[in-house]
Structure 1
Amino acid sequence: MYSFLQRIGKSLMFPIATLPAAALLLRLGQDDLLGIPFLSAAGGGIISNLALIFAIGIAMGLAHDSNGGAALAGAIAYLVLTEAIVTINETIDMGVFAGIISGIVGGLLYNKFYDVKFPQWLAFFGGRRFVPIITAGVMTLVAAVLGYVWPTVQLGLDATGEWILNAGMLGVGTYGFLNRLLLPTGLHHVINTIVWFDFGEFTTASGEIVRGEINRFLSGDPTAGPFLSGFFPIMMFGLPAAALAMYATAKKERKAVVGGMFFSIGFTSFLTGITEPIEFSFMFLSPILYVVHALLTGVSMMIAYALDIRHGFGFSAGAIDYVLNYGLAENPLLLLVMGLGFGAVYFFIFYFLIIKLDLKTPGREDEDAEDGNADVGDQGLDVRAYHTIEALGGSENIKAVDYCTTRLRLSVKDADQVDEKGLKQTGAMGVMRISKTNVQVVIGTTVEFLADAMKKRLSSGNQPPAYADGQVAITPEEPVLSKEIIAGDFAMPIDGEIIPLADVPDEVFAKGMMGQGFGIIPKGETLHSPVDGRVVSVFPTKHAIGIESDTGVEILIHVGLDTVKLNGEGFKLLVEQGQLVERGDELLRIDWAFIEANAPSAVTPVIFTNLGEQQLHVLKQGNVRQGTVDVVEVR
């Protein structure tokens, strides 16, 4: 369930990215600011359709291939649900919760039916075209059930609201807690409607009767404001501090990616009081933080009530409304003091819990390389994929297949079912059991093609490969040929300090799972070919290059560690796959300042991946200039 919630949280990152701009447009267009309805309508177009946007985002995020067909299924699920449910009870308004349910149903149905097969006369409706059809049918049943169940939920909330309104400081605190806790479901609007627009009554100097906490405050009622004041410290200070804590705890290599987002949504919360961009960025990824946030909101409401602070807003509890309504407030400066205190509390609590519990807030997720799209048709690779799957415990034991530069990253049901010996017989260089459900298999530079072949086989149940003689066996290995590099044929690829492979701060490289080699602490800005040969692999993220020497030795140069996550930033590629190169030709230019700021290490392993039993001899240590020969030899 925790993993499932994390996937939902990640799915919301795309729609959340649109919210700061929408919030600013919506607020700036209000009558008390620029008074331009066009701006408000532009921003409101996004905010008012947030449930639909979430349905699309979640469905696409849950889809195994992020296909647009899943997004369409999520949208159809939402439209069916919201249109059908009001025919049973026209007072039902599920808010964002309708979008979340629709997105989950659409995404799961897509994964179940995206490749369904029908007879020839119905073939047009098979595959992805069937997903919207089945989604409409399922959501019709869901709407029928919720049409009768949801009113009971709303009645319970109404009763809770009546108690809150008459329970003094405890009621105010409970309202603040439930206001945030119910935000993911959209049910906070039910309580807000009662408090903001129905609670209490005040007669103005002109004899007009106004109702609700907001209307009474703006009309000058001296008793209005307790149910509004406590939001200002949270929205102006607390949540921006939470965003700062999430940025501070993000992985070093991810800070540049998430920093802009956190600044944007933090500033939006402070200025406008629109907090959903921050809250949705962590409520599913780390639910425990969201409960803490809801509790702190309740505490803020109670403290403001105890200090007899009375302030209010017409839109939300941001800096704009704080300034605009300052003249109507009582003790408003105390809110700034509270805000500074809550900012510190939010930062330290969030920082502590994220580090202590290793919570996967934005920037701390386990990000892997993007799926490749290589066309795998080679029979030998297909056979290897079959036996690799079997050694992993069979298709029923594999939940998900992904990969990075050299490793398969697998989610399995039971890591104990993985046959390490069998994997090595298929050509794997090493196996790492990360947990009971996560395994990594070191394959080498062909991992992309093997992963794609495995995915194709898993989609069809990993049927044994068929041959003319009906036998199933791994294709015979190619005879091992003697490969060599004489000392004068290999040149230092970049200025730097040569270190033993065992000192490279990465277990896979240091233990020689990828092959023999050495590490470089680089000092130059350009990577050169160390041998005469051919570029056999250039990774899409540009951080690693594979070269085959003219004597048959395969060399992998991996620039920095964990640099796959930089998505090519900091690298300028100077060659292309298949290109012939001579010793000393430029391969790659590197921005080391960027790499060192965003990756765990700049140490660059140079790995000889196909030596077999032959020994690599490293002839030099310490600082070596680029182009220097007599660095290594293989005989």
Structure 2
Amino acid sequence: MATSATPKITLWEFFQQLGKTFMLPVALLSFCGIMLGIGSSLSSHDVTTLMPFLANPVLQSIFVWMSKIGSFAFSFLPVMFCIAIPLGLARENKGVAAFAGFVGFAVMNLAVNFWLTAKGILPTSDPAILKANNIQSILGIQSIDTGILGAVIAGVIVWLLHERFHSVRLPDALAFFGGTRFVPIVTTFVMGLVGLVVPLIWPFFAMGINGLGHIINSAGDFGPMLFGTGERLLLPFGLQHILVALIRFTDAGGTMDVCGHTVSGALTIFQAQLSCPETHGFSESATRFLSQGKMPAFLGGLPGAALAMYHCARPENRHKIKGLLISGVIACVVGGTTEPLEFLFLFVAPLLYLIHALLTGLGFTMMAVLGVTIGNTDGNVIDFVVFGILHGLSTKWYMVPVVAAVWFVAYYAIFRFAITRWNIKTPGRDIETANVQEKLQAGAPGKSGYNVPAILAALGGAENIVSLDNCITRLRLSVKDMTLVDVDALKANRAIGVVKLNQHNLQVVIGTQVQSVKDEMANLMNMVEA
């Protein structure tokens, strides 16, 4: 939702919005990963030997079907990113932007194929030549494999073209091709030219990514700690998705030959090995950046912090915050969504959050040192079962509960000491908690369970909101006048935290129901405008 009064986007805001667009393909990726993990593990020889009843032909057909369906997202990941980026960034005519994203990606690779053919490199089926030039089959086109980074660059270019030309007016004789129809047309022309440049500049991009990967890998077992800590430190600013995508999908996360194909990125390597029948076990160099590293903090540490916050609350307030903490723990342990717990102490005790980030990174290193090999993305109990237990003792899944228990005790001790020693105002410690609860009860919650009219009023009303969007747990807004935003009123209506990025942009941390809150608010704003 946007108006003509939208402030000019800054580079910081652009990277935030870009990171948000990654969530659409990553969400599908997570689901497909679970499908692939369950299907491939239950159809493996080791599992059927251990549980012979699973060898039933009907069950095996179902498991193979799950594997095939689950492999979809990993087979077409770059094109999904190139579609999702203009879709997410576009303010208007999002469907046209998404369509142009697909057109741009396909045309770019066709142009690369033309260049390789003109140079005499193609056509060929010689594995040595294909590998030397990093040529893969992309959408059935032999082209240079630019991976996710190439798709992101292409997606941004398509978005810029869409924003510039989606409302263009052509002369009457050409009016049929004007407006939104012109976007895929100009995209075809521009991306055709970009495809001719890709073979010339891509080696330099590849060198840069390889250099970053070398730095991380040269850090040895501390490389995962740098990644894990960096991801947590970037999370409050909404920029963690950039780092995550770089490690999961580019050469910075490693490169490996799997089933005769060269694949890059920690998650891509893991999923390729998961779907390759010739592979037994998973690469430690890839999984050390994946789910296993999050598990000490997600399954042990943050629940320990939640218990410490509960015990440190005033006795008369504990029953009021119990539901908040329990829902946060469930979101973290089952869903891998940590913000509902992290934002309870981020703003009142940044030092505690820094300690949490360091302990999360240390969890990555600990899992790597112990040789655990559990992949996927979420670090929750589902990943632990599907990609750890179901794949047998070779994943060393049995080390996770041990380390998680140690992290639980460490977090509990650190948080309880810090909260009581420095009187940190975590939930339930403020005397005003009772008054806040009364305010919550006074509101009329909608289908989302939140008093959305009150939240809208606390943001200065519909007329103060220039743009409204959301990510997994946060409302992302641009406002005309930041002074009209009442932070206390937002928190009184169950906002976990408020992040003011600059004089026009802020984020309101809601939790896992943020999509419902955003939809209700958008409907209210539309009613006001009508």
Superposition TM-score, scaled by structure 2 size: 0.48
Greater gyration radius: 1
Query: Higher helix share goes to which structure?
Result: 2
Query: Higher strand share goes to which structure?
Result: 1
